[in-house]
């Protein structure tokens, strides 16, 4: 029960998006000295570990999305809902297909940048472009899971499967196109407001609180990255980075839940409408 509550706090809804929209927020949970030492060693003498670090970050993101899909589908132990297990693995397969397409696009962009640089002397900011593309992809993917899940939520809570829930929703959407656009836009604005509130609270609430606890306990609560000296230090720093990511999610969770309560209250599909849709299907 505690593990499920912890998973919900760190992975549910759109939690995690705040780090990809504002990557600097994760550094509040890391020691500034450790960040400088790790980055300077990685980008100088240990530059050959950079591809491994990139793939490690991508692996962490894939694991994060897989657990997020799990928390969206399963409200209890997965063995209590065996009919959802195949749906979960279908979602995981679709996730990997999307990642494969994105990686192909990145490779094409890399080849194009090298071609333009070699033959025409046009320097394309490759690293900066890939970083922007990665941030956009991660943010869009989280939103792409969150907003459809919110629309299907009233039907899924009644135990309907994904395909049946989508049929009910699309039928409702055809009758209410304006309400569909309005609520989808509202969800996006609520999400942005929650993330922005978290960003504002970090320097004025969370960061002073960390320093106050540090002074009171005479220990440093900020996580420390290690200099990249060998292969195991890469794995260690990836683990510390994951821990900082989870800490950020835990601190964002209360804000997200307040925003989620507002989003649920404004949901245009009420339980009565779900019952009406079910009666319509029975009568037909």
CB 271 within 8 A of CB 154: yes
Q: Which of 227, 231, 233 is nearest to 31 (CA)?
A: 227
Contact between 243 and 20 under an 8 Å Cβ cutoff? The reply is: no
Q: Kindly state the average pLDDT of the residues 61-82.
A: 84
Radius of gyration of the chain (CA): 22
223 three-class SS: strand
pLDDT in tens, 257-267: 999 999 999 99
Yes or no: say if 242 and 153 are a contact pair by the CB < 8 Å rule: no
> Per-residue pLDDT for 187 more than 90?
yes
What residues does each domain of the chain span?
2-278
* CA distances, 54 to each of 42, 90, 225, 234 (Å): 12, 26, 16, 11
Rounded percentage of the chain residues whose pLDDT exceeds 90:
36
Residues 2-20 have pLDDT tens digits of 777 788 888 888 899 999 9
Cα(236)–Cα(26) distance, integer angstroms: 17
């Amino acid at each position: 029960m505690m593990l499920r509550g912890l998973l919900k706090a760190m992975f549910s809804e759109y939690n995690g998006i705040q780090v990809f929209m504002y990557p600097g927020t994760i550094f509040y949970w890391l020691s500034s000295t450790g960040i400088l030492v790790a980055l300077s060693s990685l980008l100088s003498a240990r530059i050959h570990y950079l591809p491994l670090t990139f793939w490690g970050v991508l692996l962490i993101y894939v694991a994060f999305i897989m657990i997020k899909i799990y928390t969206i589908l399963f409200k209890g132990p997965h063995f209590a809902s065996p009919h959802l297990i195949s749906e979960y693995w279908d979602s995981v397969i679709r996730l990997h297909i999307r990642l494969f397409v994105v990686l192909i696009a990145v490779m094409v962009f890399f080849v194009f940048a090298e071609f333009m640089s070699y033959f025409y002397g046009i320097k394309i900011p490759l690293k900066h472009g890939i970083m922007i593309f990665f941030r956009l992809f991660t943010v869009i993917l989280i939103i792409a899971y969150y907003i459809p899940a919110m629309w299907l939520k009233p039907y899924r809570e009644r135990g309907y499967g994904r395909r049946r829930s989508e049929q009910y929703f699309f039928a409702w959407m055809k009758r209410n196109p304006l309400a569909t656009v309005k609520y989808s836009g509202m969800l996006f604005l609520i999400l942005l407001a929650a993330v922005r509130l978290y960003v504002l609270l970090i320097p004025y609430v969370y960061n002073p609180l960390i320093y106050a606890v540090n002074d009171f306990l005479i220990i440093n609560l900020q996580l420390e990255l290690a200099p990249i000296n060998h292969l195991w230090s890469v794995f260690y720093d990836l683990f510390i980075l994951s821990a900082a990511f989870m800490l950020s999610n835990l601190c964002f969770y209360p804000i997200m839940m307040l925003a989620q309560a507002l989003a649920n209250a404004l949901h245009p599909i009420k339980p009565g409408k779900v019952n009406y849709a079910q009666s319509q299907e029975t009568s037909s």
